[in-house]
Amino acid sequence: MTGAVLSKSPTGISGFDDVTLGGLPAGRPTLMCGAAGCGKTLFAMTFLVEGVLKYGEPGVLVSFEESAEDLAANVASLGYDVMSLIDEKKLAIDHVKIDPAGIEDTGEYDLEGLFVRLDHAIKSVNAKRVVLDTLEALFASFPDAVLLRTELRRLFDWLKERGVTAIVTAERGTGDPNRLTRHGIEEYVSDCVILLDNRVENQVATRRLRIVKYRGSAHGTNEYPFLIDTTGISVLPITSAGLAHLTSSDVISTGIADLDSMLGVGGYFVGSSVLVSGLAGTGKTTFAAKFVEARCALGERTLWYAFEESPEQIVRNMRSVGVDLAHCLDGTLRIESARPSFFGLEMHLARMVRDIDLFKPSAVVIDPISSLRGVESEVHATLLRLVDLLKSRGITAVFTSLSSIDQASSLNDRSISSLMDTWISLSHIETNGERNRLVYVLKSRGMDHSNQVREYQISNEGIAMVPAYIGAGGVLTGSARLAQEAQERDQSAARDELVMQKKRELARRRKAVEQQVAELQSALNAEASELDALIEQSDEHKRLHEADRDRMAQLRRTKE
């Protein structure tokens, strides 16, 4: 017999419902604990407001620290108009002021007064969701642990009896790292416990969320970074990479026709990950911009994450190489810029996930990933999760990376090259006092590709590949290539002239030989005619001689 599935109430918070496999336990209280500044109140308020806006479930907030006006002002930065919801009787906020100095613990103190006020608030809006913020203010005058536990259980049982989905916030305990709350009791009487944390590492703060327990339901057990900004709260539900994504055989252009010809299928596979690495000044951003321009020309949404330049600077710089991105910013292109040190790795990843879910692009550019700072293993893990996210959504991604002089040993390239489907390497070569740019395809999974090293030029008309020239000393570029080509043209012209001379000499000799042959033929014909005349004379002599003999024979017969 299959047991009943636990009913869940979706929070409407991006990513959180994925982690909890549906939301918070419906009709049950959830304990949300954490230190000051980790976002407990904003999380709880979002749960209430999203419940009204998305799911039509009115809510009640009982605050022991802040007034309704203060709470409304605090969440206004998230785009929520709390006061209008209160006016529409969809949300109720009750500010309960508790003065610990005025409370005397007689051993019979209970929460009946709170239950009366809370019951009235629930009935006033027919609430389905309830938030109590925070427990510490309510139980500050409970020195007796037994009494505290009893009243906590009464509170949680009362909420269950009313069938409301509740969030009760509590402060993080101090001293003992295993104590989630200040009293260390709340987590034991709660059906679901969520721990929020605002951790500072290398002077960068990152908010994280962990589901400590969730009775009756499977759930994600790892730590998940979450982001609070003007768009609300978003939780990053990805903690590890998977390999179950679908692949596509469709092809999209790189934006550079000559580069397309170097790839066996004529471009990148849709949903693939592409690395464009190279030294400073090789045009990595320009290659990415040509790809973006091609996508925008087809009306495909593209998201560009820039870690070194502002959107305005990118647009201006790309205009100098014939790439006009300004007209793409009308809706097909979105450029998000942030300094790498502004967030930690997980927060950068959380921002990207949120933006991708909201903008729904078909292509993404990250320029450059080499700016991300952190332990190599952490950077690799972050990029692995990002690549997995993009592949799972069928998004084609172009990553740029600044390489060291020795690209073969570049730490950045080696750490992520195995994640990439196509790797395009850009480099410099210095010859005859000038630097020239080279491009070659190091790898491209699933397709044949050129093994040639191609020179390319960047001008105000964009990127143009120069036909590969490989001389005796290797690949020639720039003026060396032009000089060698000029020398070869001269040598070719000289060979052509020598051929023409040989042809003329042969024609002259052929004519002389033909004339000699004609003369010899004429002499031969004369000799033949002379011979024929002699033969004819000889035959005539023989005929006359025979005739004479016949006459003499006739005369003798006559005499006889």
pLDDT tens per residue, range 321-365: 999 999 888 889 999 988 887 777 777 888 888 888 889 999 999
Q: pLDDT: is 173 or 498 the higher one?
A: 498
What is the structure's pLDDT at 242?
A: 58
pLDDT category at 157 given cuts 50, 70, 90 is confident
Nearest-CA neighbor of 435 among 455, 465, 408?
455
What is the structure's pLDDT at 560?
A: 66
Least confident of 82-96, 105-119, 155-169, 440-454: 105-119
Write down the residue that tokens 């979002």 correspond to. Answer: 46
Least confident of 227-236, 274-283, 411-420: 411-420
pLDDT category at 2 given cuts 50, 70, 90 is very low
Q: What is the C-alpha to C-alpha distance for residues 84 and 240, in angstroms, rounded to an integer? A: 41
Is residue 90 pLDDT above 90, yes or no?
Answer: yes
Helix axes 284-297 and 311-319, enclosed angle (nearest 10): 90
Among 44-48, 66-70, 235-239, 408-412, the range of highest mean pLDDT: 44-48
Among 406-415, 465-474, 499-508, the range of highest mean pLDDT: 499-508
334 token code pair:
């979105």
Q: Where are the beta strands (DSSP E) in 415-548?
A: 422-431, 434-444, 454-459, 462-466, 470-471, 474-475
pLDDT category at 553 given cuts 50, 70, 90 is confident
What is the structure's pLDDT at 126?
A: 93
Thinking of the domain 251-481, which architecture would CATH place it in? Answer: 3-Layer(aba) Sandwich (3.40)
Domain residue spans in the chain?
8-235, 251-481
Q: What is the C-alpha to C-alpha distance for residues 460 and 454, in angstroms, rounded to an integer? A: 20
Average pLDDT value for residue range 393-406: 84
Which CATH number is 8-235's, of 3.30.420.40, 3.20.20.70, 3.40.50.300, 3.40.50.1580?
A: 3.40.50.300
Is residue 138 pLDDT above 60, yes or no?
Answer: yes
What is the structure's pLDDT at 342?
A: 76
Q: What whole-number percentage of the chain has pLDDT above 70?
A: 83
Task: Spell 94-112 as b/e; 16+ CB within 10 A means b.
Answer: beeeeeeeeeeeeeeeeee
- Residue 359's alpha-carbon distances to 184, 303, 351, 353, in angstroms, are 42, 8, 12, 10
What is the structure's pLDDT at 269?
A: 94
What is the structure's pLDDT at 411?
A: 46
Is residue 249 pLDDT above 70, yes or no?
Answer: yes
Among 102-106, 271-275, 465-469, 482-486, the range of highest mean pLDDT: 271-275
Task: Spell 33-52 as b/e; 16+ CB within 10 A means b.
Answer: bbeeebbbbbbbbbbbbbbb
pLDDT category at 11 given cuts 50, 70, 90 is very high
Average pLDDT value for residue range 45-56: 93
Average pLDDT value for residue range 284-298: 93
- What pLDDT digit, counting tens, does each position of 188-197 carry? 667 889 999 8
Q: Phi/psi of residue 10, each to 5°?
A: -65, 140
> End-to-end alpha-carbon separation of the chain, Å?
162
The domains spanning 8-235 and 251-481 adopt the same CATH topology: yes
What is the structure's pLDDT at 398?
A: 95
Gyration radius of the chain over CA positions: 45
What is the sign, positive or negative, of the torsion defined by CA atoms of 63, 68, 73, 79? positive
What is the structure's pLDDT at 96?
A: 82
Task: Spell 58-79 as b/e; 16+ CB within 10 A means b.
Answer: bbbbbbbbbebeebbeebeebe
Is residue 107 pLDDT above 50, yes or no?
Answer: no
- How many other C-beta atoms lie within 10 A of the C-beta of residue 559? 5
- How many other C-beta atoms lie within 10 A of the C-beta of residue 476? 22
pLDDT category at 274 given cuts 50, 70, 90 is very high
Contact assessment for residue 292 and residue 311, using Cβ atoms and an 8 Å cutoff: no
Report the predicted TM-score, pTM, of the whole model to 2 decimal places: 0.68
For residue 195, the one-letter residue type is L
Contact assessment for residue 15 and residue 353, using Cβ atoms and an 8 Å cutoff: yes
- Residue 187's alpha-carbon distances to 156, 181, 389, in angstroms, are 11, 7, 33
pLDDT category at 408 given cuts 50, 70, 90 is very low
Q: Phi/psi of residue 144, each to 5°?
A: -85, 115
126 Cβ contact list (under 8 Å, min separation 6): 58
- What pLDDT digit, counting tens, does each position of 124-133 carry? 999 999 999 8
Q: Provide the 8-state DSSP code for 151.
A: H
Average pLDDT value for residue range 72-89: 89
H/E element, 387: helix 376-392
